[in-house]
Amino acid sequence: MDSDDLGLFGPGSVTWKVHEEPILIVAGLRSLYLQALHPRAMAGVAQNSRYQTDAWGRLARTATYVATTIYGTTAEAEAAGRRLRTLHARLRATDPFTGEPFRIDDPELLRWVHVTEVESFVSTARRAGLALSDAEVDGYFTEQRRAAALVGLDPAEVPGTAAEVDAYYRRVRPDLRMTREAAETALFLTAPPIPWKLSLPVKLGLHLGPPRWAYFGIAGTAFGLLPSWAHRLYGGLGLPTTALSADLSVRALRLALSAVPKRYREGPLQQAAKERASRLAASAA
């Protein structure tokens, strides 16, 4: 029954332990910096979306999708996956170097987006101070194969351990490039337009500095958490790349965000999942 369905993961999973962390907002941004380095992935986004004019809407939709796969019922997660697969199946793009047309649901592109996302989630949580054993990290990657299946990937062809993720990155790195689109995306991610609700006071003559500077600090931390090989590819953008300062910053951010009451930092899907888990535990007692 949906009223007792714990979805693809559930309490006790490494996935729920990792995604309990509010610091994953930094991880999501880190994954976007990484994804921009893949020319075809970047072309697919640039040619099929309005990410520069609807950045916050796109972010909200992505966050809702991820939350649904993590905390929704099995039926909700599968329905979200079907909608995404249907959307991707219609989309095409053109390779910026060869001119070759390609499908957005090419498994290589789907795998790149999946790996950069889940690797960013677990590595950011760990560097922020979440205690995770090596076995738990491997468990997280293995669990996330279920999420990969939702977008149409064969779970057996998705890295399921930290060692497999490292090997995957080594294999794909020759395909990555610092293109004009990657540079533009990185700069956009670092200083996007602020939402109108936050920009309104500025338009009224009230100088609202903290939201802009707070976001810039989060973006700088996310960029600083990138692997060293990604920093080398981005090279001359002049963005912060010190791993030590990024580690200190992400730990401080985690402490600050953890101080926010859970009722404010947990979304409705997460709250509903915990309520279902509590009901199930109570009925089994």
- 227 Cβ contact partners less than 8 Å away, ≥ 6 residues apart: 169
Token pair listed for 20: 């309990």
> What are the DSSP E strand ranges found in 60-150?
92-94, 101-103
Q: Check residue 130 and give its pLDDT.
A: 98
Is the pLDDT confidence value at 113 over 60?
yes
pLDDT in tens, 126-161: 999 999 999 999 999 999 999 999 999 999 999 999
Q: Is the dihedral of CA 91, 94, 95, 98 positive or negative?
A: positive
Kindly report which listed range (117-121, 232-236, 257-261) carries the lowest average pLDDT score: 232-236
- 63 Cβ contact partners less than 8 Å away, ≥ 6 residues apart: 28
The whole-model pTM stands at 0.91
Is the pLDDT confidence value at 61 over 50?
yes
Is the pLDDT confidence value at 63 over 70?
yes
Q: Check residue 242 and give its pLDDT.
A: 65
Is the pLDDT confidence value at 198 over 70?
no
Is residue 77 within 8 Å of residue 144, measured between CB atoms?
A: no
pLDDT in tens, 33-49: 999 999 999 999 989 98
If one compares 243 and 125, the residue with the highest pLDDT of the two is: 125
pLDDT bucket at 216, cuts 50 / 70 / 90 = confident
Tell me what percent of the residues of the chain surpass a pLDDT of 90. Answer: 71
Q: What is the rounded (10 degree) CA torsion for 249, 250, 251, 255?
A: 100
If one compares 189 and 199, the residue with the highest pLDDT of the two is: 189
Is the pLDDT confidence value at 233 over 60?
yes
Tell me the mean pLDDT in the region 244-268. 91
**Could you give the CA distance from residue 203 to residue 199 in angstroms, rounded to a whole number?**
6
Is the pLDDT confidence value at 172 over 50?
yes
Mean residue pLDDT across the chain: 89
If one compares 194 and 170, the residue with the highest pLDDT of the two is: 170
Q: Check residue 51 and give its pLDDT.
A: 75
Is the pLDDT confidence value at 197 over 70?
no
pLDDT in tens, 4-25: 799 999 999 999 999 999 999 9
Nearest Cα to Cα of residue 46 among 188, 194, 223: 188
